[in-house]
Amino acid sequence: MAQDQDASREQVSCEQVKVYRVWDRPTRLFHWINVSCVMALIFIGAIMLFKGELGISGLEAKVKLKELHVVVGYLFAVNLVVRLVWGCIGSNSARLSKMLPNFSAVLAYKAKLKQGASPQYLHHNPVGNLAVFAMMVLLVTIMFTGLIRAGTDIYYPPLGGLVSDYIAANGVDGASLKPYDETGVDNQKVAQIKPFKSLAGEVHVYSVYLLILIILVHIAGVIVAEIKHQPGLVSAMISGKKRLNRPPED
């Protein structure tokens, strides 16, 4: 692709410091939309979890919170799907294959740091790559389980229509069912789908806890790497340019 930014490593300066193009525009856009959506979803999710303690009561408020969470969840999901597609067809630096863990590179990187070297990378360093891979797997898991919960809990798309049609009692139109209201519902069928609904809910929430942990480790790692070994990591995700004073390892 013309925009293949690794191929077009651009030397802007004649000094020892070279400026390389990295992270194409769609990748940077994905990153910051994803950060915003995840923060908003954690915030709304936390209100949902602690609504009792926050004095929020009543069915309407509970359902409204879930609807808001799901609507932001759709933006998050579309952004993630676009990123996954871009990871298959986009520029070299956006490729999903770049995210795959490389344990021998991790050991080599650690050994270099131990020797006091500060190896430079155009993309993530091998340790950062592990966190990125884990976050991607968790984001996809959270997306799927969230969509399952949206369908089974409040009958929202893409599965909500199927679910409400399935659990509607004989002669009842599935579209007339309301969340958390047993009117017109076949309770036996509700019991049938309950294990899947519960499993999706548990995987969703525990994946979120794990994601929060990895996000914190990721941020700490970026700060340490930025200060000690690889300056310019954060600005590169904003400007798409990285300034390196020696040739990158990747």
Binding region for ligand HEM (CB under 6 A): 38, 41-42, 45, 48-49, 66, 69-70, 73-74, 76-77, 142-143, 146-147, 149-150, 153, 201, 204-205, 208
For residue 90, with 0-12 CB atoms within 10 Å meaning exposed, 13-18 middle and 19 or more buried, which class applies?
buried
Nearer to ligand HEM, 172 or 203 (CB): 203
- With respect to ligand HEM, which residue has the nearer C-beta, 6 or 153? 153
- Hey, how many other C-beta atoms are within 10 angstroms of the C-beta on 237? 17
Q: How far is the CB of 24 from ligand HEM (least distance, A)?
A: 23
Cα dihedral 223→115→236→2 (10° resolution): -150
Say which residue the tokens 């600005």 belong to: 235
With respect to ligand HEM, which residue has the nearer C-beta, 42 or 137? 42
Closest distance between ligand HEM and the C-beta of residue 27, in Å? 18
Q: Rounded to the nearest whole angstrom, what is the least distance from the CB of residue 173 to ligand HEM in the complex?
A: 23
Minimal distance in Å, beta carbon 70 to ligand HEM?
5
C-beta of 49 vs 61, nearer to ligand HEM: 49
d(CA 123, CA 26): 15
- Cβ atoms of 51 and 65 within 8 Å: the answer is yes
Closest approach of ligand HEM to the CB of residue 216, in Å: 13
61: left (phi over 0), alpha (psi -120 to 50) or beta: alpha
Cβ nearer to ligand HEM, comparing 163 with 236: 163
Question: How many residues are recorded in the chain?
Answer: 250
| 3-class secondary structure, 57 | coil
Our measurement of the distance from residue 14's CA atom to the centroid of its chain's CA atoms, rounded to an integer in Å, reads 38
Closest to ligand HEM by CB, 76 vs 86, is: 76
Closest distance between ligand HEM and the C-beta of residue 34, in Å?
8
β-strand partners of 242 = 20
